[in-house]
């Protein structure tokens, strides 16, 4: 069975948590597309040319524990500017989405560019203030000295970049349901997402 769940939305809205939970509940494979460019960037730091790194990327490359460093983030930003790298990673995502057994992909342009034909689509969001507070809590609980006002400024700046870029801007697909988690518990948000995907699966059967 091929069944794709496309989940888009800004940073710290909860889409990763919801995506992983949906995949676990339905037995689907899960892909955090935000790791793709980091994985390619990491491989370039190991000496692999960017286009080869992207065209030979494996799922196992996304499980590396060293993808969250600043060095990798910089390398990811550099490879993302390469059209051949972007084309290879688009193909990677499309192949993953149509794998047998079902797939959940979360990112910024899944429902609009990567998988416009996805059987279920969600756009998960929350106010910038709420998302910044969540990110600030994550940072402080991890032992980082973070300023919440600066985190909010960073969140707003990233939102503007993601929504304003010429290539595959972040936006809600016309047929995606909007899930605003600003005033929702994670359990309530997940139940709404589960109900939507369950309904779409029944229609698809």
Binding site membership: which residues?
9-17
Residue numbering of the annotated binding site for ATP: 9-17
Quick check: 63 and 38 in contact, CB under 8 A?
no
Burial class (CB in 10 A: 0-12, 13-18, 19+), 152: middle
Q: How far is CA 184 from CA 14, 34, 124, in A?
A: 11, 24, 12
Residue 112 CA: distances (Å) to CA of 108, 115, 163 = 9, 6, 13
Q: Which residues contact 21 (CB under 8 A, 6 or more apart)?
A: 190, 193, 194
How far apart are alpha carbons 68 and 39 in whole angstroms? 10
Helix spans in the chain (H):
15-26, 34-45, 50-55, 70-79, 83-97, 128-141, 148-164, 186-204
Taking a C-beta distance cutoff of 8 angstroms, is the pair 4, 118 a contact? yes
């Amino acid at each position: 069975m091929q069944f794709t769940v496309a989940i888009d939305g800004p940073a710290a809205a909860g889409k990763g948590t919801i995506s992983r939970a949906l995949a676990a509940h339905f037995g689907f494979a899960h892909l955090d597309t935000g790791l793709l460019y980091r994985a390619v960037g990491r491989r370039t730091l190991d000496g692999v040319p960017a286009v080869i790194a992207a065209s030979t990327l494996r799922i196992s490359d996304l499980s590396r524990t060293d993808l969250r460093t600043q060095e990798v983030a910089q390398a990811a930003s550099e490879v993302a500017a390469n059209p051949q790298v972007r084309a290879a990673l688009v193909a990677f995502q499309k192949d993953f989405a149509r794998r047998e057994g079902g797939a959940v992909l979360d990112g910024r342009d899944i429902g609009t560019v990567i998988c416009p034909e996805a059987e279920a689509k969600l756009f998960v969001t929350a106010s910038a203030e709420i998302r910044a507070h969540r990110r600030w809590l994550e940072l402080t609980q991890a032992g980082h000295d973070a300023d919440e006002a600066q985190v909010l400024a960073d969140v707003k700046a990233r939102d503007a970049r993601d929504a304003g870029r010429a290539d595959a801007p972040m936006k809600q697909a016309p047929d995606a349901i909007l899930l605003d988690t600003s005033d929702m518990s994670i359990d309530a948000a997940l139940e709404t997402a589960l109900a939507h995907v369950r309904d779409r699966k029944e229609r698809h059967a």
